[in-house]
Amino acid sequence: MLEIRDHAKLRFVQRVMGKVNVQEAKTYIRKNEFEVVYKLLEFISQSELLFKGYAPARRDTLDYYVNNETLIIMKPNKKELVTLFDITLDSEDRQNSEKIKQYVKKIKKNNYQVQIINGKQAKQDQITHHLEYMINYLDGDIDNSKMESIREDRQRSIDICKDLAAQAKTLRMENRELMSEMFKKIDKDSVK
């Protein structure tokens, strides 16, 4: 069951329902708690997973969901709603929405590419292990040129694994940069 603390309810009422004043928001929650929780759960159910297991600035690992211009931050496996965060990438509302969509699309694309790369890397790791087994098993039973050929194949396989790991790391770092951008706050009023 999802744990929803008072802080998360307050942020929902302020950021999604538009009751910015803290006292007004707290009073609204006290008088309408069932409705607030219901709408909050509905809001969460309409969100989409953006990034799983992201730990900004060496904090706890959290899962991030997005619903329109709101970032929903939860503990893994939806155990607890931590907070809601307004995403402001541009001072113009229309451009902000478009930028958020672009960021979400790019992060999801990168996540998909990382999954593909991880699959390829797992297969390549298996090939490397088979070649290592062959080297250990056949050592002394075949001539040196054949053994050297197997060792070269193993090294190529290791190099492929390293290259795949570097590709995945690059995509993950790009996602971290995009997520960091989403946490930056632009004051829309001061830019206009």
pLDDT in tens, 109-165: 999 999 999 999 999 999 999 999 999 888 878 888 898 999 999 999 999 999 999
Say whether both 43 and 75 belong to one domain.
Answer: yes
Say whether both 131 and 69 belong to one domain.
Answer: no
User: Helix or strand or coil: residue 81?
Assistant: strand
Say whether both 126 and 175 belong to one domain.
Answer: yes
Say whether both 97 and 187 belong to one domain.
Answer: yes
Say whether both 53 and 116 belong to one domain.
Answer: no
Backbone angles phi, psi at 120, to 5 degrees: -65, -40
pLDDT band, very low/low/confident/very high, at 189 (cuts 50, 70, 90): very low
Range of the domain at 78: 3-86
Q: Does 187 score more than 60 pLDDT? A: no
What whole-number distance in Å separates Cα of residue 58 and Cα of residue 113? 24
Q: Does 22 score more than 90 pLDDT? A: yes
Say whether both 99 and 187 belong to one domain.
Answer: yes
Say whether both 110 and 67 belong to one domain.
Answer: no
What whole-number distance in Å separates Cα of residue 89 and Cα of residue 178? 10
What pairs with residue 49 in β-bridges? 65
Say whether both 71 and 122 belong to one domain.
Answer: no
Say whether both 73 and 111 belong to one domain.
Answer: no
Domain end call among 37, 64, 86:
86
Backbone angles phi, psi at 46, to 5 degrees: -90, -5
What pairs with residue 62 in β-bridges? 54
Q: Does 188 score more than 60 pLDDT? A: no
Say whether both 80 and 162 belong to one domain.
Answer: no
Say whether both 154 and 107 belong to one domain.
Answer: yes
Closest CA to 118 of 159, 175, 168: 168
Domain end call among 70, 86, 102:
86
How many structural domains does the chain have? 2
